[in-house]
Amino acid sequence: MDVFATPAGAVDSLMARGAAFLGTRYAILGGAMSWVSERNLVAALSNAGAFGVIACGAMMPDRLAEEIAGTQALTDKPFGVNLITMHPNLMELVQVCLDAKVGHIVFAGGIPPGPAIKAAKEGGAKVICFAPALALAKKLVRSGADALVIEGSEAGGHIGPVSLTVLAQEILPHIRDVPVFVAGGIGRGEAILSYLEMGAAGVQIGTRFVCATESIAHPNFKRAFIRGAARDAMPTVQLDESFPVIPVRALQNEGTKRFLEHQAEVIRRYKAGEVAKEAGQLDIEHFWAGALRRAVIDGDVENGSLMAGQSVGMVTKEQPAAEIIAELLEQAQAALTARRAGA
């Protein structure tokens, strides 16, 4: 089905602002997932009319430059790069994106420093930032953000405490100056339609694309997603407020059970005076070091990290990225057509 062949006022017109901002056919951003959102999936999404986003993660500047060049060899369509604001080489990474003529830079993992936003914009890139609350959304717009993503706790990976259902009501009616994309738990077109009608410029989707044919994720990793249900994607638990743990939503496995045991043991050692607090916190944070790569690339789905959003229950098979996008848009259009027929 060609959604763009439908009458004016259909799904394409609801996506028009977001699509124009991204320079794409559809206002669908690919969620940046470390080890998954690399050149093959990113190019596939962009070639299918969506907007692929490279997950820079812990990449150093030279490695990111290679990934961007590799993506550009696979697509001539727009794509973006997601940079973690806490990266020690953030300014260098911004320059790598600008040197490669990347049109959109997504800052994630915290409030981006002013100099990074300024450098990106002066270099000709559009800046996209994550806003977990209305006050911060307004601040980011004042700081120069060209677009925002509001991501609910239904998402996979590191999450905030508020659901997208609430964030959308809190933020969408009040932020009109820039496009706002919604993310977290989106797995069907009907949901896309509902948020577009609420005022979203588009959506960001990650989990649904993990099992795209073009995704390099290990077959074991993809099978875990296909088997997984929404209730299996749970946030990590913090056992003691003295040892803060940034919640990460992932499919439960032996690794998550051992993480709880590891936290308990470190806390016991701290209370017994065997380890300093800072060393204990570092020990807890390091537990998952390399765990995502072990799962995604090596296929160790028992001990690795299976970061997944709650929409994982809607991942039922491996299929091409273009087919997933077409399916989502068909669902959105069918819902809109049915609604208007019953009006």
| pLDDT tens digits along 163-198 | 999 999 999 999 999 999 999 999 999 999 999 999
- The pLDDT of residue 281 is 82
**Token pair recorded at residue 287:** 């537990």
**Euclidean distance between CA atoms 64 and 62, whole angstroms:** 5
* pLDDT bucket at 151, cuts 50 / 70 / 90: very high
* pLDDT bucket at 286, cuts 50 / 70 / 90: confident
* pLDDT bucket at 3, cuts 50 / 70 / 90: very low
- The pLDDT of residue 268 is 93
Among 59-73, 283-297, 298-312, the minimum mean pLDDT is found in 283-297
- The pLDDT of residue 5 is 43
Which is more confident, 71 or 340? 71
Q: Find the angle CA(29)-CA(57)-CA(68) to the nearest 5 degrees.
A: 65
**Token pair recorded at residue 67:** 């990934």
**Euclidean distance between CA atoms 44 and 36, whole angstroms:** 12
Q: Which residue has the tokens 């997933």?
A: 324
- The pLDDT of residue 174 is 98
CA atoms 259, 265, 269, 270: torsion sign: positive
Considering the chain, what is the average pLDDT of its residues?
A: 94
Question: What pLDDT digit, counting tens, does each position of 55-92 carry?
Answer: 999 999 999 999 999 999 999 999 999 999 999 999 99
- The pLDDT of residue 245 is 77
pLDDT of residue 4 exceeding 50, the answer is no
* pLDDT bucket at 8, cuts 50 / 70 / 90: very low
- The pLDDT of residue 227 is 98
What is 157-215 written as a DSSP string? EE--SS-HHHHHHHHTTT--SS-EEEESS--SHHHHHHHHHHT-SEEEE-GGGTTBTT-
Which is more confident, 2 or 45? 45
By the 10 Å C-beta count (0-12 exposed, 13-18 middle, 19+ buried), 134 is classed as: middle
- The pLDDT of residue 6 is 42
Question: What pLDDT digit, counting tens, does each position of 18-43 carry?
Answer: 999 999 999 999 999 999 999 999 99
* pLDDT bucket at 340, cuts 50 / 70 / 90: confident
Question: What pLDDT digit, counting tens, does each position of 319-338 carry?
Answer: 999 999 999 999 999 999 99
Q: Find the angle CA(323)-CA(329)-CA(331) to the nearest 5 degrees.
A: 105
What is 94-137 written as a DSSP string? HHHHHHTT-SEEEEESSPPPHHHHHHHHHTT-EEEEE-SSHHHH
Do 208 and 175 contact (CB within 8 A), yes or no?
no
Among 41-55, 105-119, 286-300, the minimum mean pLDDT is found in 286-300
Do 185 and 314 contact (CB within 8 A), yes or no?
no
Give the residue-averaged pLDDT of 46-50.
Answer: 98
- The pLDDT of residue 17 is 98
Residues 6+ apart with CB under 8 A from 88: none
